Amino acid sequence: MAKWGKLSFAQKKCVSTVGMLMQKTEMVKDGDRIGIAVSGGVDSFVLIRTMLIRQAIIPFNIELMVLHVNPGFIPDSHYPLSDWCRENGIASHIELTDYGPRAHGPENKKKSACFYCSRLRRKRLFELCDQYNLTHLALGHTADDLVTTFHMNMLQNGRVQGLSANESFFKGKLQVIRPTLMLEKKYIKAAARQWELPIWSNKCPSNDNTKRSEINNWLEDEWRKMPGSRNNTFNALRRWQLDLNMKTS
């Protein structure tokens, strides 16, 4: 038996859907060094677990490393992640920052707290990729994020734009990848529970209180009015995003 044991339906769904996207968009190749950005939430924790299994399945070598930037609301919230990485033999860089409180303080006069905080975090993750000579930065966005982002871009910015599964930064020096982009959150939540991942909740005042959650709630209300519309929205946007990525990969 493989060292990860027998997988449940939801866990298999995670491993196979990530594998399909990696293959179709030629996401990784032999020798790639992938930093996995982990927030401590359910999506990114399932991303690490799934990537460890994919690493064992694929017929070439890739290296994985966990990158965690604690936003600073609870200084020791990342302890379970450090322990988990040690127990599962995965390299990690974990650091405590003050990005969250700064994003809610006087330094941030114009932007939303999440915009400011995410920008600082993204910049730091890019620096860490450079420091550790990583070829890829993997983010834990899901199909649910794709659907919400698409609607946010359309309704707020007048743009038709989703989330790329595989995009190039710094003249090709770094690929930002989203291996779980085709995967629905319901499978991720079930798999996380079954894997008993030590997830912690984000104690930020902006958590679940953003334009993103507002649009998400509005979508859920609309979908309830028309049976089948939720599935159709997910399927349409997944197909559209996958086609775009396959054309550019």
Q: Does 120 bind ligand SF4 (CB under 6 A)?
A: no
Structure tokens at 105: 């303080």
Per CB under 6 A, does 114 bind ligand SF4? yes
Contact between 166 and 69 under an 8 Å Cβ cutoff? The reply is no
Per CB under 6 A, does 206 bind ligand SF4?
yes
Could you tell me the end-to-end alpha-carbon distance of the chain, in angstroms, rounded to an integer? 34
Q: Is 18 annotated as a binding residue?
A: no
- Which one among 101, 202, 219, 240 touches ligand SF4, defined by CB under 6 A? 202
Told to check if 134 binds ligand SF4 by CB under 6 A, we report no
With beta carbons less than 8 A apart as the criterion, state whether 35 and 131 touch. Answer: no
Any contact of residue 40 with ligand SF4 (CB under 6 A)? no
Residue 230's alpha-carbon distances to 21, 106, 151, 224, 236, in angstroms, are 21, 40, 13, 8, 10
The smaller minimum CB distance to ligand SF4, of residues 189 and 211, is found at 211
Among 14, 134, 197, 204, binds ligand SF4 (CB under 6 A): 204
Q: Does 118 bind ligand SF4 (CB under 6 A)?
A: yes
Q: At what angle do helices 185-195 and 42-57 cross, to 10 degrees?
A: 80
CA distance 190 to 212: 23
CB of 137 to ligand SF4, least distance (A): 17
Nearer to ligand SF4, 12 or 124 (CB): 124
> For the residues of 173-194, what is the DSSP string, one character each?
TEEEE-TTTTS-HHHHHHHHHH
Residue closer to ligand SF4 (CB basis): 82 or 207: 207
Measure the CA–CA gap between 143 and 181, rounded to whole angstroms.
5
110: its two tokens: 């114009």
Quickly list DSSP for 118-157: HHHHHHHHHHHHHHTT-SEEE----HHHHHHHHHHHHHHH
Strand segments, DSSP code E, in the chain are: 33-37, 63-70, 91-96, 136-138, 166-169, 174-177
* 162 interacts with ligand SF4 by CB under 6 A: no
- Nearest to ligand SF4 of 71, 140 (CB atom): 71
Among residues 117, 143, 191, 199, which is the contact residue for ligand SF4, using CB under 6 A? 117
Residue 103 touching ligand SF4 (CB under 6 A): yes
- Stretch touching ligand SF4 by CB under 6 A, among 23-31, 150-158, 204-212, 225-233: 204-212
Q: Is 38 annotated as a binding residue?
A: yes
Is residue 152 at the binding interface for ligand SF4, with CB under 6 A as the rule? no
69 carries a ligand binding annotation: yes
Alpha-carbon gap, residue 146 to 164, rounded angstroms = 9
Q: Would you say 145 is a known binding-site residue?
A: yes
* Residue set of the binding site for ATP: 37-39, 43, 69, 140, 145
Binding positions for ligand SF4, rule: CB under 6 A: 71, 100, 103, 113-114, 117-118, 202, 204, 206-207
